[in-house]
A = this chain, B = another copy of it.
Amino acid sequence: MARTTGSHSDITGPRIRETALRLFARHGFAAVSMRQIAGEVGVQAGALYNYMPDKQSLLFGLMQGHMQELLYESAARTIAADIIARLEDFTRFHIRFHLEKPDAVFISYMELRNLTPENFAIIEGLRRSYEDTLESILRDGSASGVLDVTDTKIATLAVIAMLNGVNTWYRDDGRLTLDEIETIYWDMVRKAVVPNQPIGSD
The chain A residues found within 8 Å of chain B, CB to CB, are: 26-31, 110, 113-114, 146, 150-151, 154-155, 157-162, 164-165, 168-169, 176, 181, 183-185, 187-189, 191-200
Contacts and interface: CB of A to CB of B under 8 A. Distances in A.
A188 B158 contact: yes
Contacts of A146: 200
Contacts of A150: 183-184, 187
A44 to B, nearest CB: 23
A31 B192 CA distance: 40
A26 B165 contact: no
Contact of A185 (B28, B158, B200): B158
Given A181-B154, A188-B192, A196-B197, A113 B161 contact: no
Number of copies: 2
Contacts of A113: 26-28, 31
24 contacts: A26-B113, A27-B113, A28-B30, A28-B114, A31-B113, A146-B200, A154-B185, A155-B188, A157-B168, A158-B162, A158-B185, A159-B162, A160-B165, A161-B161, A161-B164, A162-B162, A162-B165, A188-B193, A191-B191, A191-B196, A194-B198, A196-B199, A197-B197, A197-B199
Contacts of A181: 154
Given A151-B184, A198-B195, A165 B169 contact: no
A31 B29 CA distance: 9
Nearest to A195: B199
7 smallest CB-CB distances across A and B, nearest first, come from A161-B165, A30-B30, A196-B196, A162-B162, A30-B31, A192-B192, A188-B192
